[in-house]
A = this chain, B = another copy of it.
Amino acid sequence: MSASDEQNLTPECRAERWLLEAGLRPTRQRKALASLLIGDGKHRHVTAESLYEAASAVGAAVSLATVYNTLRVFTDAGLLKEIGVEGPRSYFDTRTEDHPHFFYEEDGEMSDAPTGSIRISKLPEPPANAEIAGVDVVIRLRRKG
């Protein structure tokens, strides 16, 4: 499983290996979705909807509900990472400057991280013709058992 091995695999084979290493059964649908996600070895950002459309576009018959379920399964297995605060609920803060937040994964509780407790020493250069509107930092916390 060296890096050079990975280079020469077909998308299908790469997808299957990705699934097997995570202990997931490589079913037809999972292989199709996995192949769309990592078949070319590049990273991707998808929503359930966008992945569903991509699958449809290449003729892979996967239902939208299965795409949702599969994304969840992949995420639980550590193959994907969900971006941003989970859940469909929006939070609003009476502090309007950019500042970091603590977010408790278990119960969805949100609170301010102590002022001055974080320093970002280097910010990425925004792409040409775009400017930075703000920076959101969410520190996800897990209660210790």
Contact = CB atoms under 8 A, between A and B. Distances in A.
Interface of A: 37-38, 43-49, 71, 74-75, 78-86, 88-97, 100-102, 104-105, 110-114, 117-127, 129-144
Contacts of A100: 124
B138 A124 contact: no
Contact of A44 (B38, B94, B122, B134): B94
9 contacts: A43-B93, A71-B92, A83-B101, A114-B124, A127-B141, A132-B141, A134-B139, A134-B140, A135-B137
A112 B144 contact: no
Given A84-B85, A101-B83, A131-B144, A123 B96 contact: no
